[in-house]
Structure 1
Amino acid sequence: MSIYFRAELYCRFWRNELKNIFIVGGDGFAREVYFHLQNLAECNKEIRFGGFLGHNGYGCKVDYKDVQHLYIGEVSEYTFRDNDYCIIGAGDSILRKKIYDDIKSLGGKFWTLIAKGIYLADSFIYGEANIFIPPFYSTVNIDIGDGNLCNGNVSIGHDCKIGNFNTFLPSSCILGNVRVGDYNSIGTNAIILPKAKIGNHNIICPLSVIYKGCGNNLYMFGNPAIKIGEVK
């Protein structure tokens, strides 16, 4: 076998092993994800950006502004291959779950974005389709489900257990032994104190402090945070 033939076989293998990462969604957050993915790709040669995919009109071509040339069409029209993976570029928890379900139904797979400069302990367990934007601070024995978004300067303490499709907005702080359910939004500079328990579908308003926890479908505001309304 000639050296040129061996080199060609290697190049074919290498191209097939590369992970093609698609960002599904639109608007500013998808472009932020693209920025972090590009930074990561500079040091991780196993990934490359495949393009932006829209979802039911969310992520139409005009939403991508200066990178609109990277928009390749609707996710429903794309046929996924074995080495294709998706990041969900949507900040809203409910929309993220809808996109997640639709990609699953199309046979797509997910890639968790752990942006450049983030280091996780060996005891940090996470599911699929999560996004960790730097800076991100975490310690040990943390268990996070699927589809969560930690959107910059988020802190999660030891022994926390977090469910699925939660959104942690910039500078939110989750202290040790906290339990968080599903579909919650933790506002900017909000603090969840140790051993608090958060239910499902809650909105914790910015600057609020949760002492013991809250139930389901609540707007919580203040220090200490109290119920100010219900999430419909």
Structure 2
Amino acid sequence: MRKIAIAGAGGFSKEVCLTISDINKQDCQWDFIGFFDDNVPEGKFFTDFRVLGTINDLNQIGEETDVVIAAGKSNNILSILQKLSFDKLNFPNLFHPSCQSLHFESLVIGKGNIIQSFSSLSADNKIGNYNVFNAGVRVGHDTIIGNYNTFATSTLISGGVEIGDQNDFGMNSGILQYKKVGNRNVIAPMSILFKSIKDDGHYMGVPAMSTGV
């Protein structure tokens, strides 16, 4: 088995820990060693697992280790990633056993992605790096997703959508088919995008409108 650690020690990291456990129940892939976080003191954190130190302590591990960045917002993913040394650290994709890919053969995916329970991917999806798909996210056919995006529980992404980098989609949000999303946008919970949007916006409502923030 390969050693695996979680970078980040918050509520979402507990869910990621459970995903690793569920994967191991089906196929024992990883020896989970614990959590690393700059803002949580060392010691017992979740079940029998501990916070073992800071992100820099994780960098000092002397053997190859898989790492999952467990952060629920795009800026936190980037903040942690920028602190990590890549010499002996690898960033696997994490697929919960209950998630579905309707056509895994056509899936193109990078590294460091987390796909949580009961999420689904469709045909001809292209996904970049370090994206978080929380529980029950649905991704339609021919969708292209960039890097460092987060999709909260039950986000719905229709077919043919293109999403850039560093976007945060709130719980039960969605986007209609063949629309485009730029970079660094926030889509509020329960909001639905009916049109394409550019960069650095905050959107809310049905249909989702810019809040001017």
| Fold conserved between structures, TM > 0.5 | yes
Q: Confirm or deny that 1:229 pairs with 2:212.
A: yes
Q: Confirm or deny that 1:75 pairs with 2:60.
A: no
Q: Confirm or deny that 1:181 pairs with 2:161.
A: no
Q: How far off is 1:65 after superposition?
A: 4.7
Higher alpha-carbon Rg: 1
Aligned equivalents of 1:119 and 1:227: distance in 2? Answer: 33
Q: Confirm or deny that 1:49 pairs with 2:32.
A: yes
> Moved runs in structure 1, 4+ residues, more than 6 A?
none
Correspondence 1:99-114 to 2 at 5 A: 99-105=80-86, 107-114=88-95
Q: How far off is 1:77 after superposition?
A: 2.0
Q: How far off is 1:62 after superposition?
A: 6.3
Corresponding residue of 2:20: 37
Q: Confirm or deny that 1:92 pairs with 2:73.
A: yes
Aligned equivalents of 1:77 and 1:207: distance in 2? Answer: 39
Aligned equivalents of 1:144 and 1:128: distance in 2? Answer: 9
Corresponding residue of 1:159: 142
Q: How far off is 1:63 after superposition?
A: 8.2
Q: Confirm or deny that 1:117 pairs with 2:109.
A: no
The DSSP-based 3-state class of the residue aligned with 2:52 is strand
Aligned equivalents of 1:208 and 1:166: distance in 2? Answer: 17
Q: What is the root-mean-square deviation in Å for CA atoms of aligned residues?
A: 1.8
Aligned equivalents of 2:209 and 2:197: distance in 1? Answer: 9
The DSSP-based 3-state class of the residue aligned with 2:26 is coil
Corresponding residue of 1:60: 41
Task: Tell me if structure 2 keeps the 8 A contact 1:27–1:64.
Answer: no
Q: How far off is 1:122 after superposition?
A: 1.3
Hey, which of these two has a bigger chunk of helix by percent? 1
Aligned equivalents of 2:190 and 2:29: distance in 1? Answer: 40
Aligned equivalents of 2:198 and 2:4: distance in 1? Answer: 37
Deviations 1:137-195 (A, max 9, x none): 11110011111000111000000000101010111100000010111011111120011
Distance 1:43 1:161, change over 3 A: same
Q: Confirm or deny that 1:168 pairs with 2:145.
A: no
Report % sequence identity: 28
Task: Tell me if structure 2 keeps the 8 A contact 1:124–1:141.
Answer: yes
Task: Tell me if structure 2 keeps the 8 A contact 1:23–1:88.
Answer: yes
Q: Which letter maps to 1:141?
A: D
- Length, aligned pairs only: 210
Distance 1:64 1:111, change over 3 A: same
The DSSP-based 3-state class of the residue aligned with 2:129 is coil
Distance 1:114 1:211, change over 3 A: same
The DSSP-based 3-state class of the residue aligned with 2:183 is coil
Task: Tell me if structure 2 keeps the 8 A contact 1:154–1:173.
Answer: yes
2:6 to 23, 36, 49: 23
Q: How far off is 1:117 after superposition?
A: 1.9
Deviations 1:49-90 (A, max 9, x none): 121112x22x433682544x5222123124335541000111
Task: Tell me if structure 1 keeps the 8 A contact 2:139–2:159.
Answer: yes
Q: Which letter maps to 1:203?
A: V
Q: How far off is 1:98 after superposition?
A: 1.8
